[in-house]
Chains A and B, each alone.
Chain A
Amino acid sequence: MERVSERAVLDVSGLPSVVFGPRNVVWLGTILFMLIEGAMMAMLYASYFYYRTRSTDWPPGVMPPALTYGVANGIVFLLSLAPAWWTRKKSRAGDISGARMGLVVLAIFGAVNIALRVYEFSALNCEWSANAYASTVWMLLGVHSAHLATDFIETVVLAVLAFTDRVDGTRFSDFDENSMYWYFVVGVAVVTDFVIYGATRLL
C-alpha cells in the first residue's frame, strides 16, 4: 500500500473480516435491541402485577385463560430451541447446507408457533375491553406476538437467502444472530406464559 508519510504504522491487514458472537458488531446491536424489547416487556409485567395489587379477586370477573394452547405453544417454543441451536452451530462452521436445513426447520417451528398463538388469543376467556386485567393480558400476548412475527419473517427471509448464491461470511453471522434473537423470543415467551397462565391462577 502506498504510504503517505514516514509515520510508524499499526498494520491491521491480517485481521479477519468474518467473526461470530460477541466480537461481531451486529451481535452487540442485537443485544441492545433485546434490551429495549426486554425493558418494554418488564414494564408490562410490572403493570400486570401492579393491577393485581389493585384488585381483591384475580382474575377480576372473568375466567383465567384456558391452558391447552398456551402450554402446547410453550412446548413448541422450547423444542424450537433445537433448530435454532443447530443453525447457530452450522453457521459458525460455514456449513451452508446445515444452515439451510436449520433455517427451514426453524421457520416451520415459527409458523406452528404463530398458528398456536392465534388459538391462544381465542382461549384467553376475555375481551380486551372487559377490564384492565383483560387489556393487560391481551397486550402482553400482543407485544410478544409482534416479536414472534418479526423473527418469523426474518427467519423466512434468511432461509430464502440461504438458497441463493448471495451468502458470504457476514450472512452466516446473520444466521447466527437470528438464532440468538430466537432464543430471546423463546425466553420471553416462557416468562409471559408464566404470567398469563400461571400468575393469573396462583395469585
Chain B
Amino acid sequence: MAVVQTNPPVSATDSLHQRLDSTWREPSGFGGWFKRVHHTTIGIRFIVTAFIFFLLGGILAVLMRLQLARPENKFLGPDRYNQFFTVHGSTMIFLFAVPLMFQGFGIYLVPLIVGARNIAFPRLAAFSYYIYLFGCLFFWAGLLLNTGADRGWFAYVTLSGPDYSPGKRVDFWAQMITFTELSALATAICLAATILRHRAPGMSLNRMPMILWEKLVLSFMVIFAMPAVMLSSSMLLLDRTVGTQFFNPAEGGDVLLYQHLFWFFGHPDVYIIFLPGTAFVTTIVTAFARRHIFGYLALVVSTISIGFLGFGVWVHHMFATGLPQMGESFFTAATLMIVIPTAVQFFCWIATLWHGRVQFKLPMWWIAGFFFVFMIGGLSGLMLASVPVDTQVHDTFFVVAHFHYVLIGGAVFPMFGALYFWVPKMTGRMLNDALGKWNFWLFFIGFNMTFFTMHFLGLRGMTRRVYTYVPEMNWGWLNLLATCGALLMGVGVLVFILNFFWSRKYGAIAGPDPWRAGSLEWATSSPPQSYNFAELPTVNGREALWDAAPNQPVVAGIREDIRETLVTDSLDGDPDHRMESPGPSAWPFWAAVATSGLFIGSVFSARSVLYTAVPVAITLIGWYWPRWGVSQRRKATEVWSE
C-alpha cells in the first residue's frame, strides 16, 4: 500500500507552511470569531451546537418519561407536556438530526474528502450556521417564555390554525421551520458545488467515496424537499397573521393540502436523516473490514434510487385520512419498494464484512448496534406499511416505538460511530476505549428498554401525546420500565461527554491516520491545518490513500499568497481552472442578523417586512461589494479562458 502524505513534516517545509498559514489562517479574537469562514470551523460549530440541542431535546424526553412513569402523575401538567413533546420532536428533527448529520458532518468532511482547501461558497456556509443558530435560539426562547409550540412536530391544521391556536406558540414553530430550512438549503448548495467542482484531480464520479455520493444525493433531496415545508409553514403563518384562507375549510381552504405539502417534505426528510447514517456505516465498515466496499455500483444506485423513491411515499403518513383506496394501494407498494435499495445496502455491508479482516474497534460497536436496532425498526416499518395494521395502531405508542427505532437506529447510532471515528481527526486526540464501551452499552440497553417496551404499550392501546393515564389500563409497569431505560440512555450520553472532555486533555495523540483508513481526510494532520493540505492531492482510486500509485503526483501551480483553489470537471475530475476562494468576512453574520430580524418581526407584524427587508438588502450588498485592492490585483494577474 502506497501512502499519500500531502502534509510533509513541518520542519522540512517551514516556509511553505508559513506562507499557506498566513494566507488561510482564521482571524483571531472576539471580532475574528464572527469572520471565520473555514469549513472546519463552521462544521465543528454546527456539530457542537446541534449536539447541545440533542442534549436539550433529550432532557425534555427524560422529563416526559418521568411524567409517564406512573399513572395519574402530576409532575408535568397537560399544557407543559404538550409543549415538551412538540419541542422535543421539532428539536430532534430540525435542530439536531439534519443540522448535525447533513450539515455539520457534511461541511466538516466533504472539502477534506474531495481534497480541497475550503468549501465552495464558504461565506454562504457561515451564513447557514448563523441562521441555524438564531433559529434554534428563537425557538427555545419561545419555550422558556411559555410560548413553546404545542401542536406536535408537524402542527396539523386546523388545530394549529388561527381558530384553535390563538397566541404565538404555533408562529414560533412555523418560523423556526423557515430559519432551519433556509440554513439547510444554503448548506445543500455549498456541498453540491464542492462535490461537483472541487474534487481532487483524478476523482472521477466513479471514484467518489460513498459518503460523497450520499451528500450529493442528499443535497438534491434537500433542494427539492425543503421548499415544500417552507411553503406549508409560510402558508400556515399567513393564515394566522394576515387572514389568508389556505387551510380554512369554511372558505375553500383544504386541511389535507397541508398534510400533503408537509409530508412531501417529511418523508424525504426521514431519508435526509437516514442516508448520512448509511454513509457513515459504509465508511466505517470499509475502514475496519480493511478492504474496498463490496458492490460499490449497487450502493451508488441504491443511494440514488432511495433519493427518488423517498419522494414517492409521502402519502403513507396519511393512510388514516380517508384517501381513495387506489391511492393507498399505490403508496403501500411504493413504500414496500424502498425496502429493495435499503436491503441492497445491507447485503453490501454484510458482504464487505464477510470478506474482510474485521477490526472490532469502538466505531464498529455502534455500527453493530445500528444493524440490530435499525433492523427491528425496519421490520415494524414493514408492518406499518400495510394499511390495515397502520389503521389499527395509528397514533399509538407502536408508532412512537417504530420511528425511534428507525431514527435513533438509523441516525444516532451511526452518529456516535462517526463521532468515535472522526473526533480524533477534529481534535487530534483519540477517545477513551473503556468509556466508549460504557457509553455504548448503557445507551444500547437503555434504548431497547425504552422503545421495545413501547411496541407493547401501543398494541395495548396507549395513544401517543397523552400526558397521563388511569391505573386501570395496566400500562404502569411498562411505562416505568421505559422511563428507567430513558434514564440509562441519558447516563450513556453523559459518559460520552465525559469521554470527550477527558480525551481532549488525556487522550492518546491520534496522528494523521489513526485507523489507517483510505479517504483523503486522513492524508492531512489531525486537526487539519488552516489550509487543509500543504500540497493538493491527486487520486488514483476509490480509496485515495490505499490506491495511490508509488509516486502519486501532487498538484503544483496553485498560488499560496492568495486563497486560490482548483476547480475540476464534474464528471472526470480533470483540472479546469483556478478560482479565488472568499476570505474572512463579518458580512454573513450581519446578513444573518438582518434576516433573523425580518423572520422574527414577521411573526409579530406582517407589515414589519416592509422595513426589515432594508437591512437584509444592505447587508447582502455589503457582503457582495468587491474591495478595491482585490479587484486591482485580480485585474493584473487574471487569465481569461479561450
Contact = CB atoms under 8 A, between A and B. Distances in A.
Interface of A: 1-5, 7-20, 23, 25, 28-29, 32-33, 35-37, 39-40, 43-44, 47, 50-51, 54-55, 60, 94, 128-136, 138-139, 153, 157, 161, 165-171
Contact of A132 (B242, B253, B535, B641): B253
17 contacts: A3-B556, A4-B16, A7-B553, A9-B554, A10-B556, A14-B557, A25-B197, A29-B120, A29-B124, A94-B640, A129-B242, A132-B248, A132-B251, A133-B252, A135-B246, A138-B244, A157-B624
A1 B251 contact: no
Contacts of B193: 25, 28-29, 32
Contact of A35 (B120, B223, B254, B557): B223
B100 to A, nearest CB: 22
Nearest to A61: B252
A157 B201 contact: no
Contact of A131 (B252, B557, B578): B252
Given A32-B188, A54-B252, A128 B244 contact: yes
Interface in B417-468: none
Given A32-B188, A36-B185, 13 more contacts: A4-B13, A5-B535, A9-B555, A11-B557, A18-B639, A28-B193, A32-B192, A35-B223, A35-B224, A131-B252, A135-B246, A157-B621, A169-B635
Interface stretch (B226-234, B371-379, B478-486): B226-234
A171 B631 contact: yes
Interface string B560-591: 00000011000000011111100000000000
B495 interface: no
Nearest to A93: B640
A156 to B, nearest CB: 10
B257 A44 contact: no
B638 interface: yes
B566 A130 contact: no
B626 interface: yes
B208 interface: no
B617 interface: yes
Given A4-B13, A132-B252, A28 B196 contact: yes
A2 B257 contact: no
B62 interface: no
A12 B231 contact: no
A12 B538 CA distance: 12
Given A25-B567, A157-B624, A17 B580 contact: yes
A139 B242 contact: no
Contact of A47 (B15, B201, B261): B261
B641 A23 contact: yes
A179 B142 CA distance: 42
Contact of B578 (A2, A12, A40, A133): A12
A168 B555 contact: no
Interface in B186-216: 188-189, 192-193, 196-198, 201
A9 B264 CA distance: 49
A23 B577 contact: yes
Contact of B120 (A4, A25, A44): A25
Contact of B12 (A4, A32, A136): A4
Contacts of B631: 165-168, 171
A130 B639 contact: no
A50 B254 contact: yes
Interface in B4-56: 8, 12-13, 15-16
B625 interface: yes
A28 B634 contact: no
B121 interface: yes
Contacts of A161: 625-626
B253 A20 contact: no
The 10 closest A-B pairs by CB, nearest first: A13-B557, A135-B244, A168-B634, A16-B641, A9-B556, A8-B553, A40-B227, A132-B252, A129-B243, A166-B631
Interface in B627-642: 627-628, 630-632, 634-635, 637-642
Contacts of A14: 557
B251 A12 contact: no
Interface in B115-141: 120-121, 124
Contacts of B197: 25, 28
Contact of A166 (B196, B576, B626): B626
Nearest to B120: A25
A40 to B, nearest CB: 4
Contacts of B576: 15, 19, 23
Nearest to B613: A149
Given A19-B577, A129-B243, A166-B628, A12 B556 contact: yes
Contacts of A138: 244
B66 interface: no
Contacts of A1: 556-557
A139 B235 contact: yes
A94 to B, nearest CB: 7
Contacts of B558: 12-13
A94 B630 CA distance: 18
B245 interface: yes
A29 B189 contact: yes
A131 B121 CA distance: 42
B325 interface: no
Contacts of A54: 252, 254
Contacts of A17: 577-580, 634, 637-639
B219 to A, nearest CB: 8
Contacts of B223: 32, 35-36, 39
A18 B641 contact: yes
A18 B638 contact: yes
B628 A129 contact: no
A50 B257 contact: yes
B8 A139 contact: no
B238 interface: yes
A187 to B, nearest CB: 17
B93 interface: no
A130 B534 contact: no
A135 B245 contact: yes
A202 B78 CA distance: 51
A193 to B, nearest CB: 20
Given A32-B188, A128-B244, A135-B238, A16 B577 contact: yes
A60 B566 CA distance: 57
A91 B385 CA distance: 55
B551 interface: yes
A2 B253 CA distance: 69
A135 B242 CA distance: 10
A39 B621 CA distance: 26
B201 A10 contact: yes
B195 to A, nearest CB: 11
A47 B232 CA distance: 10
Which of B196, B248, B641 is most buried by chain A, counting CB atoms within 10 A of its CB? B641
A165 B227 CA distance: 39
A161 B628 CA distance: 11
